[in-house]
Amino acid sequence: MPINVLILYDRKGGAIEGLAQAAADGVERTGLAKARIKQLEDAQRSDLLDSDAIMLGSPNWSGITGTMKLWLDDQGDLWEEGCLGGIPGAAFTTGGGLHSGLEITLLQIIHWMLACGMLVVGLPWSEAMRQSGSYYGATAAGGGPPTPDDLGQARQLGARLAAIAASLKTG
């Protein structure tokens, strides 16, 4: 059975798409999983339910975008149903600056995952985090395209998420 990793993001802001693509590349490079990239407006509840791992991304708008919040809220009481319990998840975001609320955006995504009983996957410490601030997920800051370090961290997070999902699925 192939491992399916959903990379779902709100595309408001161009840099977020680069992180999503890099994360998908990381997933695929493992040889353990297939990545499915979806923009929020094209996603459905079944995309979440059919996934072995989920990576959510939102540009930082003083937290997740209103569109992302509304979409997640509209998926129903997934936490009560328990349908995402035990599924690994990870987060990514982009923003105008390192201290513009990137951590809050990642933590809002992670909060939703924890409420659903998901297993949160983060990045292990690296020197690149001194510049990126990617303590809770992959980030890109500065308003321009993601840097090579940003893309590298997104690839690493995608690969780590795929490996954990494969390990959980195969036991």
The residue ranges of every structural domain in the chain are 3-170
Tokens of 157: 């997070």
C-alpha dist (Å) from residue 103 to 45, 51, 138, 154: 26, 25, 10, 15
- The domain 3-170 having CATH identifier 3.40.50.360: the answer here is yes
Residue 69 sits at φ, ψ, to 5 deg, of -60, -45
E-strand ranges in the chain read 3-9, 33-39, 53-59, 88-95, 119-120, 138-141
Model pLDDT, residue 89: 98
98 pLDDT tier (thresholds 50, 70, 90): low
Burial (CB count within 10 angstroms: exposed 0-12, middle 13-18, buried 19+), residue 15 = buried
Q: What is the mean pLDDT of residues 132-154?
A: 88
CB neighbourhood size of 169 (10 A)? 16
Whether 30 shows a pLDDT value over 70: the answer reads yes
116 pLDDT tier (thresholds 50, 70, 90): very high
120 pLDDT tier (thresholds 50, 70, 90): very high
Model pLDDT, residue 99: 66
Sign of the CA dihedral with 64 first, then 160, 120, and 45 last: positive
- Angle CA(99)–CA(91)–CA(33) in degrees, nearest 5? 145
18-29 in b/e form (b: 16+ CB < 10 A) is bbbbbbbebbbe
Model pLDDT, residue 119: 98
CA separation for the pair 125, 135 (Å, rounded): 8
Residue 54 sits at φ, ψ, to 5 deg, of -135, 130
Amino acid at 77: D
Q: What is the pTM of this model?
A: 0.94
CA separation for the pair 168, 92 (Å, rounded): 22
Residue that wins the pLDDT comparison between 130 and 83: 83
Residue 147 sits at φ, ψ, to 5 deg, of -80, 165
Q: Which residues, in sequence order, are bridge partners of residue 86?
A: none
